[in-house]
Structure 1
């Protein structure tokens, strides 16, 4: 008799339904939060790569009548500024930035070469995906269909940023564990393309 009354009792049905659906609801909420955080982080890394390329295209010192000279100190300051701009992302610890100087290849008409390359960040050492210093006879730099080139007697600053995504909840809920962004900017003013000056014996951010 008591068993029949218990079978007909519906007073706890809502609580049971909630208990069954709660894990699914919680997973959906946490996944949404993780994806949102990933998108925001990806956008910040993209803006960081663009700012780094823009600043690299402007760096250098010299009079208005002379070509600007760039130094290792300029490049080091560029990277330090990018790390400060990254804020909580901490580019130095969680990422790796690669700056490449693309110029026309004098040995191959209509082609390009990477004259020099500098790197920053403590992420596991990673070479550029598009070529290293000395690579020549290139059609451009960057992924197919989005390659950057350089004008005669000028250069293009090409930046790659590889960033290890720190998950908000769990890496399994994020679309990827690493964010990759690229950006390029043509050098704004005349620049001395003979090489990087290092009269101050500043540390070289080698790759």
Structure 2
């Protein structure tokens, strides 16, 4: 190979390698580079938004479920033309079964707990939890005390938020429902301050009810909270 051929090859190689100035001016891959840098941030925003939306919907569903349970519990009691309507353990169990069916994919029996309390007046004119029944697999206990709380005296002021407690009038009862639900994140890799959900609802009983006790003529297993 003579000198002129070598020189030609060298010039061809030099022309094929872009200069530093050409590299600095080149913008052909800038969009892809920007997308690669922004994608993790966009992914965090998208997954966080999805998580927050799911959490808000879950809170709404649990709240609606609490209202439904307290409403249904307020309607319990076998019709009687001569006596006040008695409440049975079977009816309480039916209310819980209906709540579990309504909850559907919330898996309430494993991830949550329903606490149903009958708030009534005691003989001293104070408030008492006459009876209390539970459904679900959670370890949650009523924030206002177990069955028998306030049986005597007037120190137990009622159930509900402080300074806004629900109270029962003489001769009637209030069906108080607490639902505690353990929220499981959709995206466990995203750290958001999402706490377990606790909802409260209360309905006064709808008709004249026998509030002296819960009957069990059907011999079913009571849904006790122990």
Report the TM range for the smaller structure's normalisation. over 0.9
TM-score by length of 1: 0.93
Whole-angstrom CA distance in 2 between matches of 1:24 and 1:145: 44
Cα deviation, residue 83, structure 1: 0.3
Superposition map of 1:126-205 within 5 A: 126-136=140-150, 137=154, 138-170=156-188, 172-205=190-223
Higher relative contact order (CA 8 A, sep 6+): 1
Whole-angstrom CA distance in 1 between matches of 2:112 and 2:191: 21
Whole-angstrom CA distance in 2 between matches of 1:67 and 1:56: 16
Assess, with a 3 A threshold, how the Cα gap between structure 1 residues 104 and 175 changes in structure 2: closer, same or farther. Answer: same
Unaligned runs of 5+ in 1: none
**Residue among 18, 22, 29 paired with 2:39:** 22
SS of the residue 2:91 aligns to: helix
TM superposition outliers: structure 1 runs of 4+ over 6 Å: none
What do the CA deviations read for 1:25-71 (whole angstroms, capped 9, x no partner)? 11111111111111111101000000000000001103144200111
Contact 2:119 2:176 in 1 (8 A): yes
**Residue among 83, 97, 108 paired with 2:114:** 97
Larger radius of gyration between Structure 1 and Structure 2: 2
Whole-angstrom CA distance in 1 between matches of 2:21 and 2:205: 84
Paired residue total: 204
Assess, with a 3 A threshold, how the Cα gap between structure 1 residues 172 and 143 changes in structure 2: closer, same or farther. Answer: farther
Whole-angstrom CA distance in 2 between matches of 1:147 and 1:171: 39
Assess, with a 3 A threshold, how the Cα gap between structure 1 residues 140 and 80 changes in structure 2: closer, same or farther. Answer: same
Whole-angstrom CA distance in 2 between matches of 1:173 and 1:55: 38
What do the CA deviations read for 1:133-157 (whole angstroms, capped 9, x no partner)? 1110311111113311111100000
Whole-angstrom CA distance in 2 between matches of 1:44 and 1:64: 37
TM-score by length of 2: 0.85
